[in-house]
Structure 1
Amino acid sequence: MNSGINSKTEKIFQFFWTAFFILITVIAMIPILRVISVSFSSKDAITAGRVFVFPVGFNTEAYSRALQSGSFVRAFGYSIVLMLGSTAVNLLMTVLAAYPLSKKGLKGGGIIMTLFVLTMYLNPGIIPEYLNVRDFGMIDTVWALIIPGALSAYNMIIMCNAFRGIDSAIYDAAKIDGCSQVTTLTRVALPLVYPTMATLGLFYAVGRWNGISDVLYYINTSSLYTVQMVLKQFVEAVNVSVEEGMTTNLIAENIKAASIVISMLPMLIVYPFVQKFFTKGIMIGAVKG
């Protein structure tokens, strides 16, 4: 009897939370769907306020106009290369810091880990960061977008715990076989923490793709602007002349929405392939085995 009651209660509990999270997801999707709808809608429908979550008067002229902008297309390609390079540097630095700190016998490891943790709580602020970047001669260079954020202490701790979760017998077996620390890391440890690396890689990639504050602070040359910076300028400055508006089905909102949708595409494409690693990757790095 008790089992039946518990089963019924559990089903009600699951139904409630499932419905709740579906509702939250739908609410969160509405702004995204509206931007997509505006990008595909006609100027008359947008002007009349008839566009909500579905396109009205379907047309793709806005995408043609957005893709004809040389600065936007260049920044889009540059941002993809920057994101890939920055993510590679981030993961390399994270692994090189986390692997030795995961070893119990590392002399001074506790002090070094404490210093890493302190950086999470003691943020010096943007002015000391800017002066630091300037003194290293990185202002108006691509390195200003890579080096200052090359390592996240939070992500390093997750990776460190992932390495600690590997059975020590595996490390002992590698040592008996004559593997060096580098070989043990590359051929033994990394394949076992691949889900964690994939998860952190996505975190780093999303952070770089969406980042704009460092571009505002450190970059003055337009050729080094990322897609988010160009998108910001595009949204602020784009317009459709009266004469052009009479011969096309466009208004500024069309082009702005289309540019935003295009800038979201890389993350929308990558996420489904990495999403499956989320739970496993974070759990591996959160609990020591």
Structure 2
Amino acid sequence: MIKVYAPASIGNVGVGFDILGAAILPTDGTLLGDLIQIKQSKEFQLTNIGTFAHQLPKNIKDNIVWKCWDQFCKIIKKKILVTIVLEKNMPIGSGLGSSACSIVSSLFAMNELCNRPLSTNKLLKLMGKLEGEISGSIHYDNVSPCYLGGLQLIIEKNNKISQKIPNFKNWLWIIAWPGIKISTADARALLPSQYTRTTCIKHSRNLSGFIHASYTMQPKLAANFITDVIAEPYRSKLLPNFTQTKTTIKKIGALACGISGSGPSIFAICDNDLTAKKISKYLANHYIQSKQGFVQVCKLDTVGTRIIG
């Protein structure tokens, strides 16, 4: 039996719509992500457990893990008979890469069990394809950091899908899920089909500035460039008191703040424990909408998906 862990992730990271993503790991050691257990068996079996297993579809063929198994078998041209247990610890529609966690952990585990018939690149392409079936379009800003770890820039050039870029080791990433759900497809539908030249220039400046500041190790400059002119102006209305929340936590000391993926989770970045605690306390008291909601102080998960047992 193989047990695999796939971490949560922050898609877009504000400044990089669909082309920038960060894998995260809570500083308290909590495994914020999904777990897959897989072993060979006489027939295919799938069991769902975990905090958010009740959110999964009842029909097994609608479950993304079944779709991963089906597509994997078709690609390797062999029907592998396995028993899979999905421990669904990530809320669906949270903006923290929940679907990516299930997809990446499942495909990674199957590939390991079969002695790695698919290369890293082929596996990542399959992950992106399956993610696209859920969100409505292929994008890698969650599956890539979830799989490979760190802060990933999606390049899709020279047969390479993404590239890990430098990160600031003292940055703390505070994430808050309010306990409500937003569909990725619905959130994408809010975005305009065209943007003005001014907006495109601003977006290019912010993204290129962030990448430059990351490679030249200028943390304050990098944080100043984390500005979302593509999605946030349209998606912020879906989030509870987002504008007020962002204003307040930046006054507390956040270096940057934005929507995680399609929302409703948000992220904030700071560079010391005291500020992280203050931001966490504010978010817990003012942003969380239900008992299931949570706040976590994280670092970047530089490893990505791995075997843990």
Interval containing the TM-score (normalised by the shorter chain): under 0.3
More strand by share: 2
More helix by share: 1
Q: TM-score, normalised by structure 2?
A: 0.22
Q: TM-score, normalised by structure 1?
A: 0.23
